[in-house]
Amino acid sequence: MTDFQTEKSLVRDYYAALDAPDADLNAVMNQYISADYLWRGFHPFNEQTSGADVATKFWHPLRQSLTHLQRRQDIFMAGANTLDHGGTWVVSMGHLMGLFDHAWLGIRPTGKMAFLRYCEFNRVENGKITETAMFFDIPHLMIQAGQNPFPPQTGAHNIQCGPQTHTGLMFDAQDPAEGEKTLAAVDYMVSDIKTWKGGREEPLVDELRRSWNEDMIWWGPAGIGATYTIERYAEQHSGPFRAGFKDRIFNGHICRMAEGEFGGFFGWPNLTLEPTGGFMGMPATHKPADMRVIDVYRRGGDKLTENWIFIDLLHFWNQQGLDVLGRLPTARD
């Protein structure tokens, strides 16, 4: 049994080098990233197959736009992937904060502090990072710049807090038994929700209570928003989500892991869904489309109590014919 400290140390060293103000990004990538790398990022970045490409297409432009960039982590954990894809993965979640001084992806700069909410899964093998899934909430940055691309949300999106317990930064080794409890709670929830096929005989809140504590918080992405307590989650997200789709297909996950009271997973894509109208205020399209999702959880007792969600909504709606970034007016620095 491993305590994952070697893998954690490598990723922490990578972040220290990557986040340095005078970082030589290509040199950082050469040192920490494997030659056969696979990086999965949100639209419009999608899949990249080298550290050099990630540096050139993502990190260089982002750092030029969000100057004095600073990583503010809320969760840091590691664990063995329990799925067939395998591997040891290190997860970081939080915000990248900087001064939004220059346009990025056509989003106009504000000259003020801005936060790019992110979650990153890194697979570590033989002293290198071989795979990454880095999901980030671009619409939230757009809202900060006064360019909200979506209709009013069913939930709230003010700030996205870290864990209520402030115990998410697990730089030290954790009790494996606690991780096993968390993984069991996540696995139960995933298995239970898969029984939903578009209709149900029991009230939604009763279904949710099997997996969630009453004071649960669901920290959803911009465009949907966050919601608090089982009843409000059912009213403000889960109910509208289920009502807005049909023919839900679960495609599975690439990684599912846990450490301590925290766990998470990601897929590429997780779900395929057909919009029937109403979700996020959008009309029915009757075109199946994929959702790429990261979920990170905190367990309280035997059930789940906090959930941070990253959904690539730009990719999802792009498949429906809505190019959100393409609709932006030309931004000026």
Read off the pLDDT of residues 303-315 as tens digits, 9 standing for 90 and up. 999 999 999 999 9
212-219 and 303-311 strand pairing: parallel
The residue range of the domain holding 267 is: 176-325
Q: How far apart are CA 187 and CA 184, in angstroms?
A: 5
Nearest to 264 by CA among 74, 34, 59, 61: 74
> How many Cβ atoms are within 10 Å of 215's Cβ, its own excluded?
12
> How many Cβ atoms are within 10 Å of 122's Cβ, its own excluded?
25
pLDDT bin (cut points 50, 70, 90) of residue 49 is very high
Q: What is the CATH number of the domain that holds 81?
A: 3.10.450.50
Same structural domain, 211 and 99:
no
Same structural domain, 304 and 192:
yes
Nearest to 205 by CA among 231, 227, 186, 242: 231
Indicate the number of domains in the chain: 2
DSSP 283: P
Q: How far apart are CA 178 and CA 56, in angstroms?
A: 40
Same structural domain, 180 and 243:
yes
Q: Please classify residue 318 by burial: count the beta carbons closer than 10 Å to its beta carbon, then call 0-12 exposed, 13-18 middle and 19+ buried.
A: middle
For tokens 């790398």, what's the residue? Answer: 37
pLDDT bin (cut points 50, 70, 90) of residue 202 is confident
Same structural domain, 181 and 274:
yes
Would the pLDDT of 199 be above 60? Answer: no
Q: For the residues 188-211, what does the mean pLDDT come to?
A: 82
Handedness of CA 305, 310, 316, 317 (dihedral sign): positive
Same structural domain, 235 and 102:
no
pLDDT bin (cut points 50, 70, 90) of residue 183 is very high
Q: For the residues 214-231, what does the mean pLDDT come to?
A: 97
